[in-house]
Amino acid sequence: MMRLLVNIDHIATLRNARGEGYPDPAEAAIVCENAGAAGIVFHLRGDRRHIKDDDVQRLKESVTGILDFEMSASNEMIGICLETEPDLVTLVPEGREELTTEGGLNMTTVFNDFKNRVFPALKDSEIDISLFLDPNPKDIELAHELGAYAVELHTGTFANAVNNDDRKNELERLAKAAQLIHESGMTVNAGHGLNLDNLPQLIEHVPHLTDISIGHALISKAVYWGLEKTVKEYLSLMKN
Ligand code: PXP
């Protein structure tokens, strides 16, 4: 069953713009869940540009559905993640200068480190591990070899495609990747750059989708419509 997870990072961005205590990501998380979202995603970045450490604790206390902790695989983040005990951890590459996560993990580069340090550190917890990947068969095979629970497919290239051919090609890559993830016994998640216009096409073409993680476009729309109405609009689109 497909589920909507709302990324609430940009509630914190708005709060931090004035250094006030509002809007509060934990309060926004409650509104999203009450509107029907299956869970909440937050990304605690090394530079703490949006979500801060004390938000993490308050989110843990407020969220009743799925809590997805998006983070880099640094020892600092692994420590905070183990203390927080979210349902899911989504590991992403993180660059200091980037505006947002720019692509999936390069599994060939990180494989040995993940195998020897990251997966063993998380192994005794109840936290499921998801890896944020581009739709490359090689990366997916290595995720499977590591024993990942899920792969979150990076949909940014699809979302940013400037013409129909590029969009169609990327949808085909995503569909094949989703099939491979599913056949390998892992859960298929997806996210990045999704909005009310491009989500129907993704859902129509890509099989086995489980958790769809949406942040910037949803929070932006909520400025006009309110969070409750916006979440409900996404849910009704996913249902239909
Ligand atoms: N999934 C991952 C791994 C991300 O890094 C992000 C951005 O924080 C999202 C999903 C949500 O992307 P967007 O804000 O473009 O909806």
For 183-240, the pLDDT digits (tens) are: 999 999 999 999 999 999 999 999 999 999 999 999 999 999 999 999 999 999 999 8
* pLDDT score of 197: 98
Angle at 232 between CA 212 and CA 62, to 5 degrees: 70
* pLDDT score of 153: 98
CB count within 10 Å of CB 48 equals: 12
In the reported structure, the alpha carbon of residue 215 is separated from the centroid of ligand 1 by a whole-number distance in angstroms of 6
The atom number, within ligand 1, closest to the CA of 216 reads 14
Instruction: Classify the C-alpha dihedral 106-190-193-33 as positive or negative.
Output: negative
Pocket test for ligand 1, best of 4, 42, 216 (most atoms within 8 A of CB): 216
Residue of 70, 94, 152, 170 marked active site: 70
* Annotation marks residue 182 as catalytic: no
Instruction: Show me where the domains of the chain are located.
Output: 3-239
SS (H, E, C) 177-230: HHHHHHHCCCEEEEECCCCCCCHHHHHHHCCCEEEEEECHHHHHHHHHHCHHHH
Contact present, 78 and 122 (Cβ < 8 Å):
yes
Q: Compute the distance between CA of residue 26 and CA of residue 122 in angstroms, rounded to an integer.
A: 25
The CATH homologous superfamily of the domain defined by 3-239: Aldolase class I (3.20.20.70)
Pocket test for ligand 1, best of 3, 155, 192, 218 (most atoms within 8 A of CB): 192
* Annotation marks residue 170 as catalytic: no
For 140-174, the pLDDT digits (tens) are: 999 999 999 999 999 999 999 999 999 999 999 99
Contact present, 208 and 182 (Cβ < 8 Å):
yes
